Amino acid sequence: MTAVPVAVLASGGGTNLQALLDALRDSTVARVARVVASGADAGALERARRSGVPTAVLAHPDDPDEVVTATGGARLVVLAGYLKRIPPAAVARLRWRVINIHPALLPAFGGPGMYGRRVHQAVLASGVALTGATVHYVDEEYDRGPIIAQWPVPVRPDDTPETLAARVLAVEHRLLPQVVIELARLGVPEKPVRLSASGSAFLVADQPSVRVGE
């Protein structure tokens, strides 16, 4: 079996990229084939170089041709802390092959302007008892595409945006590689799939025999 090539798009430090690089290093199911940054200052680029993964920096992140070309024909495109909008024409060409990780339980606490610390501030201000991480398909609207998998994280009474962000990020680092491996194992289906957690495994909702890690 040839490992499914995955392109990772990032704008920031790239700890989720690192989680993918670590999890997929010896995988026969999926491999990080390239890393694409929205700016030359993205820390993710250095992480890619350290792992020997080819990199690209987008000169025009709003140019659909440039975005699609930069993904280099990868079967799956993962947005991991990517802060630019994927141009709708690129979304259309990569339909159900682009996924994003968001540090809250969508559809709550998502949408334009909801990123980074602001998400956790809004969660704390709302008084909810539960937050978490969501991996979802990217469509034409920010944070609105079909949900693939979620992992809940309790909010503690003494949480600050920083403590909450750290606890959610630790969960992101586990959730994202599992989802990528599972989608790759399924051959990156042409229709959206939903994975549900069961113990340490993720089950495809309508195919309960498919498990991560087996």
Q: Which residues bind ligand GRF (CB under 6 A)?
A: 10, 12-16, 80-81, 101-103, 169, 172
Beta-bridge partner residues of 30: 4
Q: Which DSSP category does 110 fall into?
A: -
Buried b / exposed e along 11-26 (16+ C-beta atoms within 10 A): bbebbbbbbbbebbee
Q: By C-beta, is 85 or 211 nearer to ligand GRF?
A: 85
3-state secondary structure of 7: strand
- Provide, rounded to whole angstroms, the least separation between the CB of residue 211 and ligand GRF: 24
Residues designated catalytic: 102
Q: By C-beta, is 87 or 103 nearer to ligand GRF?
A: 103
- Provide, rounded to whole angstroms, the least separation between the CB of residue 143 and ligand GRF: 9
- Provide, rounded to whole angstroms, the least separation between the CB of residue 115 and ligand GRF: 6
Structure token digits, residue 172? 């992101």
**Which of 86, 76, 162 is CA-nearest to residue 124?**
162
- Provide, rounded to whole angstroms, the least separation between the CB of residue 75 and ligand GRF: 21
Question: Closest-CB residue for ligand GRF?
Answer: 81
Q: By C-beta, is 48 or 80 nearer to ligand GRF?
A: 80
Query: Helices then strands (H, E): number in the chain?
Result: 6, 10
d(C-alpha 96, C-alpha 192), whole Å: 6
35 neighbors 8 (Cβ within 8 angstroms): yes
**Which of 9, 7, 190, 6 is CA-nearest to residue 86?**
9
Q: By C-beta, is 87 or 132 nearer to ligand GRF?
A: 132
Beta-bridge partner residues of 57: 37
